[in-house]
Amino acid sequence: MKKDYGFRLLLWIASIVFTCTRYLCASIMCAGALGDKGTYEQALEVQGPFLPAMSLLCLFGALLLTCTDLAITIRNRKNNKDK
């Protein structure tokens, strides 16, 4: 049985991107929850430009992982029918 390391690498990269996005959003939310207007505005100025790009990457990654999961499921069903 051949191991597909490319798919595992893709999953690692996707998980890193999703984690980065989550922490960016959490840091902005925490800065807003502190009640300090200056900290919140600074967080938005520094990290804000990255949020649309990271959101787009998350949506693309979710679509890619969904398509990959669907392809693997279909392939496994075909392999099970052939046995």
From the number of C-beta atoms within 10 Å of its C-beta (0-12, 13-18, 19+), residue 3 rates as: exposed
Q: How many domains does the structure of the chain reveal?
A: 1
Rounded to the nearest 10 degrees, the angle between the axes of helix 5-33 and helix 37-47 is 150
Digits of tens for pLDDT over the chain (83 positions)?
456 677 777 777 777 877 777 777 777 777 767 777 787 788 778 877 777 777 777 777 778 778 888 888 888 888 887 76
Retrieve residue 8's tokens. 């595992």
Q: Look at residue 73 in the predicted model and tell me its pLDDT.
A: 84
Q: Look at residue 4 in the predicted model and tell me its pLDDT.
A: 66
Rounded to the nearest 10 degrees, the angle between the axes of helix 50-82 and helix 5-33 is 150
Q: Look at residue 3 in the predicted model and tell me its pLDDT.
A: 62
Q: Look at residue 49 in the predicted model and tell me its pLDDT.
A: 79
Q: Look at residue 1 in the predicted model and tell me its pLDDT.
A: 46
Q: Look at residue 83 in the predicted model and tell me its pLDDT.
A: 66
Are 20 and 58 in contact by the 8 Å Cβ rule? The answer is no
Q: Which domain, by its residues, includes 58? A: 5-82
